[in-house]
Homo-oligomer: A and B are copies of this chain.
Amino acid sequence: METPDNTPEAPSPTGIAAQDWATASADPQYRAAVVDLLGALAYGELAAFERLAEDAKLAPTLGDKAELAKMASAEFHHFEQLRDRLSAIGAEPVEAMDPFVAALDGFHKQTAPSDWLEGLVKAYVGDSIASDFYREVAARLDSDTRSLVLAVLDDTGHASFAVEKVRAAIDADHRVGGRLALWARRLMGEALSQSQRVVADRDALSTMLVGGVADGFDLAEVGRMFSRITEAHTKRMAALGLAA
């Protein structure tokens, strides 16, 4: 919700961004990068499904439980779209997801929420950072892949639900804010360290990010992208009543 559909810096489509999948995928390195991207996103959605279903168990009321189950189900449908797209372009979905299982599971293991509010903050922070990242990347993708990526990043209603519940909890007890601010910092640190692990491991994906593919990012642009994502995170934390 906080992130506009197109970052103001987004250039009008040129190079790959002006092509459709059929044309762009003729380059085997671009094709491999997209399979990586969709695989990472698909496993992210499946992991998000599990995380939200798990958080639903911590819900203080039946209404909250149903709300989280609804979001979990929405993430599952996103997963289905990505899996079907992988199949459609001739990639084996399980193989495409596999390289990202360790990093995502590692992230979730290192950041298991100890209560309902930590779970809400985690889902909010995690979804927002992931959305920011994929939206930045989407601008550089072929038109078909871009449409799919933007469609599955559609707001599942989680952001406003989490913001409302967390703000109410901080209003009721100000000490909660300090604890959750520390928690959000830990989440951001762990997310960055796992992302670095993925980037170091996946050649095609990294090459696309740092500019080895025509119209990919150059290294300075990657740096600026990380600044924009961190800045957006800081703003979101402030809106939540948390010092980032």
The tally of residues in A whose CB lies under 8 Å from a CB in B reads 26
Q: Is A83 an interface residue (CB 8 A)?
A: yes
Q: Is A191 an interface residue (CB 8 A)?
A: no
Q: Is A150 an interface residue (CB 8 A)?
A: no
- Measured in the bound complex, the distance between the Cα atoms of B82 and A66 in whole Å is 12
**A98/B62 in contact, CB under 8 A:** yes
Give the residues in chain B near A66, CB-CB below 8 Å. Answer: 46, 79, 83
Q: Is A111 an interface residue (CB 8 A)?
A: no
Copies of this chain per assembly: 2
Give the residues in chain B near A72, CB-CB below 8 Å. Answer: 49, 53, 72-73, 76
What are the interface flags for A46-65 relative to B under an 8 Å C-beta threshold, 1 for contact and 0 otherwise?
10011001101100011101
**B65/A70 in contact, CB under 8 A:** no
- Nearest 4 CB-CB pairings of A with B: A53-B53, A73-B76, A73-B73, A62-B94
Q: Is A97 an interface residue (CB 8 A)?
A: yes
- Measured in the bound complex, the distance between the Cα atoms of B98 and A46 in whole Å is 30
Q: Is A112 an interface residue (CB 8 A)?
A: no
Mark out the residues of chain A between 75 and 101 whose CB falls within 8 Å of any chain B CB in the assembled complex.
Answer: 76-77, 79-80, 83, 94, 97-98, 101
Q: Is A69 an interface residue (CB 8 A)?
A: yes
Give the residues in chain B near A56, CB-CB below 8 Å. Answer: 49-50, 53
Given B54, B65, B83, which contacts A46 in the complex, CB threshold below 8 Å?
B65
Given B49, B77, B94, B98, which contacts A53 in the complex, CB threshold below 8 Å?
B49
**A–B complex contacts, Cβ < 8 Å, 13 sampled:** A43-B62, A46-B66, A49-B53, A49-B69, A49-B73, A53-B54, A53-B56, A62-B97, A62-B98, A66-B83, A70-B80, A72-B73, A73-B76
What are the interface flags for A20-50 relative to B under an 8 Å C-beta threshold, 1 for contact and 0 otherwise?
0000000000000000000000010010011
